[in-house]
A and B are shown apart, each in its own frame.
Chain A
Amino acid sequence: KNQVEQSPQSLIILEGKNCTLQCNYTVSPFSNLRWYKQDTGRGPVSLTIMTFSENTKSNGRYTATLDADTKQSSLHITASQLSDSASYICVVSARLAGNNRKLIWGLGTSLAVNP
Chain B
Amino acid sequence: DGGITQSPKYLFRKEGQNVTLSCEQNLNHDAMYWYRQDPGQGLRLIYYSQIVNDFQKGDIAEGYSVSREKKESFPLTVTSAQKNPTAFYLCASSRGNEQFFGPGTRLTVL
Indicate whether A49 reaches chain B with its CB closer than 8 angstroms: yes
Q: How many angstroms from the CA of A45 to the CA of B43 in the assembled complex?
A: 13
Indicate whether A41 reaches chain B with its CB closer than 8 angstroms: yes
Residues of A within 8 A of B88 (CB): 41
Number of interface residues of B (CB under 8 A): 20
Which one of A52-60, A66-74, A75-83, A99-107 is at the B interface? A99-107
Indicate whether B106 reaches chain A with its CB closer than 8 angstroms: yes
Q: Is the interface of A mostly helix, strand, loop or mixed?
A: strand
Nearest CB in chain B: distance from A106 CB, A: 6
Q: How many angstroms from the CA of A103 to the CA of B37 in the assembled complex?
A: 14
Q: Does A89 contact B42, Cβ atoms closer than 8 Å? A: yes
Q: Does B101 contact A107, Cβ atoms closer than 8 Å? A: no
Q: Does B97 contact A43, Cβ atoms closer than 8 Å? A: no
